[in-house]
Structure 1
């Protein structure tokens, strides 16, 4: 019966205890016959590895096609043309919800154990929860949240769908609680540090990441006056900054740097070259902007189309007119350490630059913008070349309007978030500040999708709650705007 419940709820919400994921990580802390034997720290690495694997897979397939990073030569795959099949929804939904069970178990088990240092695990859990929960609601809108992940513990196989506004409020509450817990700066047992592949359970670094993530999400809803997000941004960055430390350099970037030694393998490490880059090439938008910028990351990411020359494909090409592939993803990216990014220091600086330009804070936008550019280059192991910052596509000129400056910030932010789940798409949906090309074959009336459909199996097995959510949102299509989605002409 338990097995039946677990399998069923995996199909509905991924709300099972994914015990097997810890097997290859920390066998000494896991009794395979007894869930209660799992120590909270043993769940951190499996959750991170599995969420990042889901993120990278979906990034390559969906985000990069929508956001003109790459273009598929599969003429029947319509994502680059703004048409997304409902079947695309299942993988992210299941991958995220399964690991959310583990993440919430970290908090519960640490709270129950009440051992020295376990408040740090509770804080880590809350930051991870906020991260994954934001990915889910930003993808689908109203989703199960307060009653989710209770299929095994409470037998709730049909949780209600919560309003995105309420989810965001609780995410912010969790980040406040995490900040307070991690402020205690209680170190865990040194023997357990290796169980956290990002920060070795350092409470100060997790606290800085949590508050940086807080800024990402506050900016996402800053146009919603009822959230009071602008006042909170100002508190974190100016009036009460000491209570909300944020990342100060790439040394504090939230990323799992792949070692390509089990279990920390780049998910594409053993993929054949032809399967990794054989059916896609970089887009014109992606390549042209890098060349105009004189950006050194071009050679780190792309092959030459011909000797010494880079080129991109048309995104949104008309059906039956598949263009010739030009530059493609470098095969070396399959083993690159940097593709496990969650949120880097550069993104944070671009957030600060935008907040300053929008007058949310009285900080120097240009300074933060420059720090972001330098940080983004440094993350990929390179440096800003001479003359780069004076390039007309980069420099804030006296003649630039606020919008023109924001466009420059978001072009740099676009490249800083390379291979980072769906952040490029989420940010474009919020601002539309990238001048993406419009191909002749675009479908969906040429409109960028703003969400994915709910998975088909959810529609079937949790129909009453599904219909309630769809009624609130006005439908279950890819164009139904969610609570935070602004209306931009």
Structure 2
């Protein structure tokens, strides 16, 4: 009965948050929860669930097409050809900003209420804020940040766009503060712990996730001297590691485990099997690499094209030459198998492996690489032996160059990031270390897009600030490089 009551409360909270979704620009900057007395824990599950659902939706629609996971057979959807319509920008912008209001309200309500464990709620809020805000700026570039989500406080519905450098600086400060708050290790009231679908409000586990996310953002900016990211990386991993605990096992990954029932139902659970795959299939790049790796995850992710044979479709095929669909997504993924990922232990291990291989930290690159591979296998209930690394496409070889090893790290990281928002795309934009196939009919001069353009609604309802941002960035095009962007095309 106790569990049933709590599930009902969480369902009600989810319904409240979902009902706040709107395309109205003003409401993006307005508190969707009208009750001034709303408790911070009631906002936590809806915010996490809604962001992850939106991330999965556009992961399948946009990221997977850019990154040659899947290929659509709809000639009018052309992400795999690097063509992006301006109308595609609004969905994630709207969803991320709506939930940022809830996430920042967790911090404010915790501070106001001063109930048991308020420091823990504030730390969790800062981590979620850094996560969602980083997704926004890494997708669009300069964005409203310092003045965003304040419409219900000061009626500012036209926030200025901030520079990505300034945003990143503040994101790192938020994660630093989260580490300090969660270091206090203050438990929330026992009756409130289950409102958190990730770690049951365990401050120690959230602290580890926050510091792991910290490393993700530091790696992304490690080539930019402005933030002194390399020094901070060394502090976290070497000189002051005890003050920055990290995820230590796959079980500590930041994952929402979907269920076959409310309130944490897999968003595709009720989708018809035919509609789940829709008009898409896996790409040649995705399938061919898994075959060359002799990877045990293949059968979990993909169907056979014909009996005993897996195959993929050509990405970037010419218009009017739609290829025959081969292997598709396993329909079991739409039940509980597809994880709702914030960040995994496997990704953390690949981050450390890259940092070690580049000589930024003194760690064993090969061991962390193997840790990452094993953790990714574990996530999908697969196990491998050391013989897996005997494959020259996988294991480090004595005659490998640094680039060879980095490519191996990033190919495995690519597979570990499956269904993880836009991280595959972000990482390719950062490194260019995947040997993606070159389609026969790529648009955009064959260049991988490096951002989404700003949504049309921001252009019409926040024009002055939009114009300033566009002028600063050199235009509002999908090829405009961001502050941290090196450029891989």
Pairwise TM-score range, normalised by the shorter structure: over 0.9
Are 1:13 and 1:97, in contact at CA under 8 Å, matched by a contact in 2?
no
* Aligned-partner SS, 1:427: helix
How does 1:245-324 map onto structure 2 within 5 Å? 245-324=245-324
Corresponding position of 2:31: 17
1:72-471 correspondence to structure 2 within 5 Å: 72-385=72-385, 387-471=387-471
> If the length of structure 2 is used for normalisation, what is the TM-score?
0.94
- Alpha-carbon deviation of 1:15? 2.1
Cα displacement string for residues 194-231 of structure 1 (whole angstroms, at most 9, x for unaligned residues) = 10000000000000000000000000010111211111
Shift of 1:114: 1.6
Residues 471-486 of structure 1: matches in 2 within 5 Å?
471-486=471-486
CA apart distance, 1:8: 8.5
TM-fit CA distance, 1:278: 2.6
**8 Å Cα contact 2:21-2:98 kept in structure 1:** no
Q: Secondary structure at the match of 1:348?
A: helix
Q: Distance in 2 between matches of 1:52 and 1:110?
A: 23
Q: Would you say 1:57 and 2:57 are equivalent positions?
A: yes
Question: Which residue of the partner structure matches residue 30 of structure 1?
Answer: none
2:313 counterpart SS class: coil
**C-alpha separation in 2, matches of 1:7 and 1:386:** 49
Distance 2:59 2:262 in 1: 22
CA distance in 2, matches of 1:440, 1:125: 45
Three-state SS of the structure 1 residue aligned to 2:71 is strand
1:332-363: CA deviation from partner (whole Å, max 9, x where unpaired): 11113442011000000000000001111000
User: Once structures 1 and 2 are overlaid, which stretch shifts more, 146-155 or 430-439?
Assistant: 146-155
Relative to the length of structure 1, the TM-score reads 0.94
| Structure 2 SS opposite 1:158 | coil
Contact 1:12 1:462 in 2 (8 A): no
Give how far 1:152 is off. 1.7
Offset at 1:10? 3.8
Looking at structure 1, the residues matched to 126 and 392 of structure 2 have their Cα atoms a distance apart, in angstroms, of 42
Contact 1:316 1:442 in 2 (8 A): yes
CA distance in 2, matches of 1:478, 1:159: 22
How many angstroms does 1:12 deviate by?
Answer: 5.6
Contact 2:315–2:439, Cα closer than 8 Å, also in 1:
yes
**Contact kept in structure 2, 1:13 and 1:149, CA below 8 Å:** no
Deviations 1:417-471 (A, max 9, x none): 0000000000000000000000101000000000001000110000000000000
Q: Does the 8 Å contact 1:13/1:148 carry over to 2?
A: no
- Would you say the 8 A contact 2:429–2:487 is kept in 1? no
Alignment RMSD: 1.3
Structure 1's unaligned 5+ residue stretches are 1-5, 20-33
Gapped runs of 5+ residues in structure 2?
1-19
Asked if structure 2 preserves the Cα contact closer than 8 Å seen for 1:93 and 1:455, the reply is yes
Q: Distance in 1 between matches of 2:357 and 2:445?
A: 32
Mapped to 1, the partners of 2:182 and 2:24 lie a distance apart of: 32
CA contact (8 A) 1:71 1:314 kept: yes
Aligned partners of 2:384, 2:465: CA distance in 1, in Å? 51
